[in-house]
A and B are shown apart, each in its own frame.
Chain A
Amino acid sequence: MQSHQDKQTITRRTVLLSVGGVGVFGALASRLYYLQVIKAEDYTTLSENNRFNYNILIPDRGRILDRNGTPLALNKQDYQLVLIPEQVENVDETLDKVSDIIPLTPKVRSRILGDIKNHAKFVPILVEDHLKWPQFAALNMRTPELPGVVPEVAQGRSYPHDGLFSHVIGYVGSAGPEDVEKDNDPLLRQPTFRMGRTGVEAAVDKQLRGKSGKLKVEVNAVGRIVREWPEKDTQAVPGQDVWLTLDAELQKYAAELFEEDSGGVAVIDVMTGELRTLLSMPTFDNNMFVSGLTQADMKRLNSDEKRPQFNKVIGGGYPPASTFKMTVMLAALEQNIINPSERIICTGKMRVGNRTFHCWKRHGHGPVNFQQSLQYSCDVYFYELAQRINIDIIAETAKRLGLGQSYPLGITGQTKGIIPTEAWKQKRLGQGWRMGDSLNAFIGQGFVLTTPLQLAVMASRIANGIQAVVPRLIIGDNTTDFEPLDFLPEHIAAIQAAMRSVCEEPGGTAYRPGAMGVPGVEMAGKTGTGQVRGISASERAAGVLKNKELPWKLRDHSIFVGYAPFDRPRFAVGTIVEHGGSGSKRAAHITRSLLKRALERDGLTAPNMDDDTL
């Protein structure tokens, strides 16, 4: 019934469509070729990425030990709660449920949400650590209804000794974005990882940290682990222990001696430079910083006028006061501008230009020779020297004794203090040096600022006499090949003798015979009383106020440097007690006691026992 032409139309158009169909097949086939041949490698990689996750294993952090192996920082089991975002359906809802058991502050919540945003979905995010056992147990009970929330027993950093070592050890904390930028260690991207933030923890972080391990796991589309590949795993390498030169017992004793006072003390081995004690008082509990400080803690720390967080022993600049006098005396001997037997008359004051400078002893010491100037700590003697030597020479000598510089301790927070020169004053204040400046500087007042550690180093260099001792804190850190000190032995001997007379001869400002408790063991030292206020002429006329009559903040700093035994020095100490009054009292007592205890702990008692102990 159909026309021939009609049939032809259908056939023609069928062919047309068929050709189109073949074209589509061709296009599809070439697309398949493109995907499976040309792009095959890319997609294979993507497919591998789909399959494998590397779960980073966090190594145990190395411990920090004192010289006897007493742990100062260690890892303790810590109950933590972590959250794996990809397994959590509704983060807010889950956190709400978690807050029923452990209260989460808004700050913590926003921290958690931030962490979730900044990490891949399979990375566990720390919700809270340092959980109490009942909380941890309760969370374990609830886990079935909280998918993706995992209570974990992890290793948390713990600092025993009640904060005695806080300033030295520092603390650990989570890595910030700037750390991640500088350091491509995958550990830093783990939210539960803690790195050293301050102190020794930060200084030798790499050594303590260890190396991360990798757990290769196959995951499916929703992130569930479907297979582990034990043969592809690399174990985490635990961090190395770090040994410090400190003696925990001695440090503890030093803190006891300080009682409630504020300040710093350093005990140093005069031969090796090893620090046996490096203490800043008062201390704070660095455990607080590991889990994150609360606002209340922060406020308490910051409002304390004794500034617990401030590492005074290496970072506090104080006028060294009369402990600076050895420097001046050494310079005077080297410059040959004083004869040790020459006597200078002290009348209690000296007039220079239109100003009157006073000796601490109101009515003067009378005639005073070189050794006596130190024994009695006569200020006028040094006023006289100030007119004979240029301040720049004093500064140079001070530098040789270790003042005005920082040391390679590894930890941060050191200050160099100030050892003034003419150029320094010009640069700093835009003024020329005046004689009055010298007079103040020569008795360790005025512009001069030193730290307790610097004073200890100075004492150790005088005690050593040959080498420029450099303090060290971390065992294996530095060498004991010190630079030569380059003072003439007779000059050093004169200073040493003068320092001995301070402690061991009647009239010495710190005279207390038998202080070392063993016959024949003597100590040498020097007191310092650092003025923090100006004394007006009228007050001087009416009688200088006693420290007890002043508010704490205005009292003198009590300063002492010393070493023992006098004839074979082992340890040197630098002590500053903030607003502790006269150097002959608090600081001298602390120094004496520490030297005695340090010698006892070292097994060194009487000189005649030496042969036996060998």
Chain B
Amino acid sequence: MSARANIQSKLFEINWLLPVLIYVLGAIGVAMIYAATDGVWSNGAQQHLVRLIAAGGLMLLVALIDIRVWYHLAYPIYGIALILLIGVDFVGVTINGSQRWLDLGVTRIQPSEIMKLAIVLALARYYHDLDQNRVSHIISLLGALLIIVIPAQFILRQPDLGTTLLLTMTALAIVFLAGINWRVILSGIGAAAIAVPLFFMFGLKEYQRTRIRTLFDPTSDPTGAGYHITQSKIALGSGGVSGKGYMNGTQRQLEYVPENRTDFIFTVIGEEFGLFGGLITMGLYMMLLAMCIWMAMECKHRFSRLMILGLTSTFALYVFINLAMVMGLAPVVGVPLPLISYGGTVILAVMFGFGLMLSAHLYRQSELPRGGR
């Protein structure tokens, strides 16, 4: 069988249902960005479409590469992501008060996005290599903790609370799935109960604390931090059951909701398509997530399963945090709605992630040695 024929046969074996779901959501994104920008095609919708297509190519490329290659690359990718993160700390570009971007001349990249993927790969490999019986061992726990804490604290310093939380929660999901025993989990929760309030007091910047506080009492600062939440709820609430109709959202047209092209894109869906549109969108995300979980369950070895589930967790957390934020249930932390929100790096990272999932699924039967040998 020639390499070309091999690739062709592999292309047929890819789980095409996943890309279909991805592109349905992506299309919603294009349509909503078009509305959010008052029907100006070139103000985001066009770029979003181009990015989706380009990132789709990347996804296929990633998908076709044998999962064993990705297994071997897991630690190097993590290492590179870490170096880039440290690089941001020194030479990063500051946008909106946060130093998150690294200017590579041709494009700016957000190393924290790469790290979201890298940490999943690294932890999946870590637990794949680890003897099942030693998962809850103190040394093993410390190893996992190092993998998590080192990048997390660099991202927190940028400061990017949203990504830090996302990263940590994803990592903890993998650790949980890897099978650490309940005693460790419970003591971890206990420690968190003590650490989180302390972190709130000493680990956060004032504006982040304000954002969390205003979440609980948005009226305290209706024009400042509470403004996003209030206006976002007004947009959703005024949409009602059936919405105001496509391109008819007044909150959107009058620019009452800031950043509605990016993080607050769901307000446009809610305002123009109502509860109906909101539930359909959420339903599509659920289907996508269910598809991913099914793919993980089909995989034979631990690396693939943990990797897919980890990436799925990341994706799910994006969706959950974003929706909760838009509906006034979580602080405004700057987490986009994946595939729908405008934003290049996120699409690239998410599609890369889906590529990895497809690859793992494609090569689900292949044998993977322990320790990379």
Chain A residues whose CB sits within 8 angstroms of the CB of B323 once the complex forms: 28
Q: How near does chain B come to A50, taking the closest CB pair, in angstroms? A: 5
Establish whether residues A10 and B239, one from each chain, have CB atoms under 8 Å apart when the complex forms. Answer: no
Establish whether residues B255 and A220, one from each chain, have CB atoms under 8 Å apart when the complex forms. Answer: yes
Give the docked Cα–Cα distance between A82 and B177 (Å).
Answer: 66
Establish whether residues A21 and B241, one from each chain, have CB atoms under 8 Å apart when the complex forms. Answer: no
Of B179, B238, B255, B316, which is within 8 A of A9 by CB?
Answer: B179
How many residues of A are in contact with the other chain, CB < 8 A?
40
Q: How near does chain A come to B140, taking the closest CB pair, in angstroms? A: 14
Q: How near does chain B come to A117, taking the closest CB pair, in angstroms? A: 15
Establish whether residues B237 and A43, one from each chain, have CB atoms under 8 Å apart when the complex forms. Answer: yes
Q: Which residue from chain B places its CB closest to the CB of A226 in the assembled complex?
A: B254
Q: How near does chain B come to A217, taking the closest CB pair, in angstroms? A: 12
Chain B residues whose CB sits within 8 angstroms of the CB of A5 once the complex forms: 132
- Let me know if A31 is at the binding interface, CB within 8 A: yes
Chain A residues whose CB sits within 8 angstroms of the CB of B233 once the complex forms: 35, 43
Among the 9-residue stretches B8-16, B87-95, B99-107, B301-309, the one with 4 or more Cβ atoms under 8 Å from chain A is: B301-309
Establish whether residues A28 and B237, one from each chain, have CB atoms under 8 Å apart when the complex forms. Answer: no
Of B236, B251, B289, B328, which is within 8 A of A50 by CB?
Answer: B251
Q: Which residue from chain B places its CB closest to the CB of A13 in the assembled complex?
A: B177
Chain A residues whose CB sits within 8 angstroms of the CB of B117 once the complex forms: none
Establish whether residues B241 and A28, one from each chain, have CB atoms under 8 Å apart when the complex forms. Answer: no
Q: Which residue from chain A places its CB closest to the CB of B242 in the assembled complex?
A: A36
Establish whether residues B296 and A14, one from each chain, have CB atoms under 8 Å apart when the complex forms. Answer: yes
Give the docked Cα–Cα distance between A27 and B234 (Å).
Answer: 19
- Let me know if A261 is at the binding interface, CB within 8 A: no
Establish whether residues A43 and B234, one from each chain, have CB atoms under 8 Å apart when the complex forms. Answer: yes
- Let me know if A493 is at the binding interface, CB within 8 A: no
- Let me know if A42 is at the binding interface, CB within 8 A: yes
Q: How near does chain B come to A43, taking the closest CB pair, in angstroms? A: 2
Q: How near does chain B come to A19, taking the closest CB pair, in angstroms? A: 11
Establish whether residues B282 and A28, one from each chain, have CB atoms under 8 Å apart when the complex forms. Answer: yes
- Let me know if A141 is at the binding interface, CB within 8 A: no
Establish whether residues A31 and B177, one from each chain, have CB atoms under 8 Å apart when the complex forms. Answer: no
- Let me know if B250 is at the binding interface, CB within 8 A: yes
Give the docked Cα–Cα distance between A290 and B366 (Å).
Answer: 93
Give the docked Cα–Cα distance between A1 and B296 (Å).
Answer: 17
Q: How near does chain B come to A482, taking the closest CB pair, in angstroms? A: 63
A-B pair number, CB within 8 angstroms: 126
Chain A residues whose CB sits within 8 angstroms of the CB of B309 once the complex forms: 10, 14, 17
- Let me know if A552 is at the binding interface, CB within 8 A: no
Give the docked Cα–Cα distance between A366 and B355 (Å).
Answer: 134
- Let me know if B18 is at the binding interface, CB within 8 A: no
- Let me know if A2 is at the binding interface, CB within 8 A: yes
Chain A residues whose CB sits within 8 angstroms of the CB of B176 once the complex forms: 13, 17
Question: Digit string of A1-35 for contact with B (CB within 8 Å is 1, else 0)?
Answer: 11101100111011001100110110111011101
Chain A residues whose CB sits within 8 angstroms of the CB of B251 once the complex forms: 47, 50
Chain A residues whose CB sits within 8 angstroms of the CB of B254 once the complex forms: 50-51, 218-221, 226
Chain A residues whose CB sits within 8 angstroms of the CB of B282 once the complex forms: 25, 28-29, 32
Interface residues of B in 257-312 (CB under 8 A from A): 258, 270, 274-275, 278-279, 282, 285-286, 289-290, 293, 296-297, 301-302, 305-306, 309
Establish whether residues B237 and A24, one from each chain, have CB atoms under 8 Å apart when the complex forms. Answer: no
Q: Which residue from chain B places its CB closest to the CB of A28 in the assembled complex?
A: B323
Q: Which residue from chain B places its CB closest to the CB of A46 in the assembled complex?
A: B234
Interface residues of B in 210-242 (CB under 8 A from A): 231, 233-241
Q: How near does chain B come to A338, taking the closest CB pair, in angstroms? A: 84
Q: How near does chain B come to A125, taking the closest CB pair, in angstroms? A: 19
Q: Which residue from chain B places its CB closest to the CB of A21 in the assembled complex?
A: B316
Give the docked Cα–Cα distance between A29 and B301 (Å).
Answer: 35
- Let me know if B333 is at the binding interface, CB within 8 A: no
A17-B176, A24-B320 given; A43·B275 CB < 8 A:
no
Chain B residues whose CB sits within 8 angstroms of the CB of A50 once the complex forms: 231, 234, 250-251, 254, 256
Kindly list the 5 A-B residue pairs having the minimum CB-CB distance in the complex, ordered from nearest.
A43-B237, A47-B238, A220-B254, A36-B275, A9-B179
28 contacts between A and B (CB under 8 A): A2-B301, A6-B179, A10-B302, A10-B305, A14-B177, A14-B293, A17-B176, A17-B313, A18-B290, A25-B285, A25-B286, A31-B327, A32-B236, A32-B270, A32-B327, A35-B237, A36-B239, A40-B238, A40-B240, A40-B241, A43-B236, A43-B238, A47-B237, A50-B250, A220-B256, A221-B255, A221-B256, A221-B258
